[in-house]
Chains A and B, each alone.
Chain A
Amino acid sequence: MPAPRSARGFLGWLLAPERRGPLLIAPAIATLVIVNIFPLLWSYGLSFFSYNAKKIGVPPRWRGLDNYVDLFTDEDVWGRFQNTAVIVIGSVAVQLVVGFLLALLFAREFPLRRYLLMLVLAPMMLSLSAVGVFFKLFYEPTFGFIPRLVQTFTGEPFVILSTPVKATIAIVFADAWMWSPFVMLLVLAGLVSVPKYLYEAAEIDRASAWRRFRTITFPYIRSLLLLALLFRTIETFKIFDVPYVLTEGGPGTSTETISVYLFRVAFNYFQTGRASALGYIVLFGVIVLTSLYLYAIQSRSSESIE
């Protein structure tokens, strides 16, 4: 790693101080190019072909833009995007509200806080597939905890996954349970970053609680709330494990998200070309969202420098 200035030739050139950065970064970039970028470029190519990954002997057939045209005109695809959008909007909204309330609860120091925080933070560290299995057991109409609990009050069997609306709510519930602590963490970070003297000043001004929140607290958590919103939107947009395990996309196809649909197109229907094209459309969405997220990160850090 050191760059002996006396060294000559190629090695000397390579180890010159101005190449230090690139040299250190090269292995990481190389790994990503080989394992991630190259396959993606390859599938970009495939997205213009009709190809079935299961039929080894049959070469890809050129289709031009037809895969994309088909996708944009396919009602099924739009339906899956809608399913995903509904779950994203529902789940992220719930996460923001619940996460915010949890943050208020834990904003002050109190005895045993650290231990109780652990209980609340645990869900988001669990495996998505494990959470899917949890809720599959909780929702089971005959033996499951939630249906039985409801039945003791209503006397009627309670079947959660029976209609598109209820099944969507069931998925939103599971996902929001898992990820509200994430929002809580971000909001907590915002709450504690408010300088104490601002509150003291407000105290002197006898500002109302609402006014204090709006003018002092909120500006500090605003940027973090935005980050939470964007981050959770990106992550929920990709949701796969929970619906895959919990509802298999049912009833019918009403909870089949775009990721589950991609999985079906690629590995049930084995339309590899079409799946690649759809993958690219999804990837484009993620790139846009990620840029927004990083933009928000940067404006937040420049804000705090001011």
Chain B
Amino acid sequence: MSQREVRSIGTAGWGRTLTAAIISLIYFFPVLFIILTAFKSRQDALAWPVKFIFTPTVTNFVSVFYRTTVEGGEAEATGFGLYFFNSLFIGGSSVLLALIIGTSAAYAFSRFPLKGNETYLFMILTTRMMPPIVAIIPIFVLFRIFGLSGTYVGIIALYTAFNLPFSVWMVKSFFDDLDRDIEDAARMDGSSEWKVFRKICLPQVYAGLAATFVFAIILTWNEFVFALLLTGTQTRTVPVQIVRTIGGSMGVDWGLMSALETLFIIPVVLVTFALQNQLLRGVTFGTIRR
């Protein structure tokens, strides 16, 4: 398993660090701004010039989960607990399923190429490249026919298929990277194919599987179009509710919106850091490794 840093050509000194820091901070500014706004009171959030020094408050974060909706009323749960759970549960189960089915296919594509291997791989990738809105038109109607709208089963099945092409291509790329000599030696020694897979190949791609898992979770976590049309009141995910929260009746509450966004993106930003070495492969669905 090749765990490479994002590699470089030669070195540069602190001068480059300074330039890069300024540019990176400007680049990151929109995200930073949202995170800062999340900790501001309503008046601070709208203040101009922008306040970079202010008394931080966690009110907005509390309001994400509990807030009063009627003047003088009691704070009530907003349902975001459920939506965060849904995002994780739906994402987690569909990715796990996709990974199991996908790893088996990826191993086969890598080790036992079929006639027309490339065509199958192409077909699989196409289902992923297709605009979701194209896929959703028939799925929307079929879900109705089979009573799957607004159910966990329906949305998890859909996301499994959504994550499958990604899993196949990603995991295949990891299997392709392996040094074949060890396997071949094992086969010579009379190991069964199962044993070769289980004892030799699989352990070598654990890190890759983990990376694939996390990537797919992020893709699902971020997914909006399918969720917008196919989740019901009980299965709604976070992105749908975020977009639904703008245009609520309490005016545009920027602090609240920012707090929501912050909760939604912070896990992703942190995971991005952990995954830095696999990013290239991940964002190109495993089609480009180096």
Q: Do chains A and B touch in the complex (CB under 8 A)?
A: yes
Q: Is B9 an interface residue (CB 8 A)?
A: yes
Q: Is the CB of A279 within 8 A of B133?
A: yes
Interface centre among A24, A108, A117, A267 (most CB of B within 10 A): A24
| Nearest opposing residue in chain B for A106, CB measure | B20
**Contact yes or no, B273 A112, CB < 8 A:** no
Once the chains bind, are B138 and A108 in contact (CB under 8 Å)?
Answer: no
What separation, in Å, do the CA atoms of A134 and B261 have in the docked complex?
A: 8
Confirm or deny: A204 has a beta carbon within 8 angstroms of a beta carbon on chain B.
no
A225 to B: closest C-beta gap in Å? 12
Known: A35-B160, A121-B272, A294-B122. A272 touches B131 (CB 8 A): no
CB distance from A215 to the nearest CB of B (A): 16
B239 interfacial by beta-carbon distance below 8 Å = yes
Residues of A within 8 A of B118 (CB): 294
Residues of B within 8 A of A290 (CB): 122, 125-126, 129
A20, B108: Cβ atoms closer than 8 Å: yes
Q: Size of chain A's interface in residues, with CB distance under 8 A?
A: 102
- What residues on A are CB-neighbors of B88 within 8 Å? none
Q: Which listed residue (A28, A133, A240) contacts B133, Cβ 8 A?
A: A240
Distance in angstroms between the alpha carbons of A129 and B101 in the assembled complex: 29
Chain B residues contacting A293 (CB-CB under 8 Å) are 287
Please tell me which stretch of A66-74, A88-96, A163-171, A181-189 contacts chain B, meaning at least 4 of its Cβ atoms lie within 8 angstroms of it: A181-189
Q: Are B290 and A182 in contact (CB under 8 A)?
A: no
Task: Please provide the chain B residues from 16 to 49 with a CB less than 8 Å away from any CB of chain A in the complex.
Answer: 16-17, 19-21, 23-25, 27-28, 30-31, 33-34, 37, 46, 48-49
A170 vs B94: C-alpha distance when bound (angstroms) = 35
Complex: chain A residue closest to B159, CB-CB: A35
Is A78 engaged at the interface, CB distance under 8 Å to the other chain? Answer: no
B135 contacts which of A1, A36, A106 (Cβ < 8 Å)? A36
**Inter-chain contact A31/B160, CB cutoff 8 Å:** yes
Residues of B contacting A266 in the complex (Cβ-Cβ under 8 angstroms)? 133, 136-137, 140
B273 adjacent to A118 (CB under 8 Å): yes
Verify if A161 is at the interface (C-beta below 8 Å from B): no
Q: When chains A and B are docked, how far (Å) is the Cα of A1 from the Cα of B16?
A: 54
In the bound assembly, the distance between CA atoms of A53 and B272 in angstroms comes to: 40
Other-chain contact of A129, B131, B144, B242 (Cβ < 8 Å): B242
Which of B8, B225, B229 lies in contact with A241, CB distance below 8 A? B225
**Which of A113-152 touch B at CB < 8 Å?**
113-114, 116-130, 132-138, 140, 143, 145, 148, 152
6 closest residue pairs by CB, A with B? A21-B112, A127-B222, A43-B138, A35-B161, A24-B108, A28-B105
Task: State the A residues within 8 Å of B (CB).
Answer: 1-3, 17, 20-25, 27-29, 31-32, 34-37, 39-40, 42-43, 46, 53, 102, 105-114, 116-130, 132-138, 140, 143, 145, 148, 152, 177, 182, 185-186, 188-189, 191-194, 224, 227, 231, 234, 237-238, 240-241, 245, 259, 262-263, 266-267, 272, 275-276, 279-280, 282-283, 286-287, 289-291, 293-294, 297
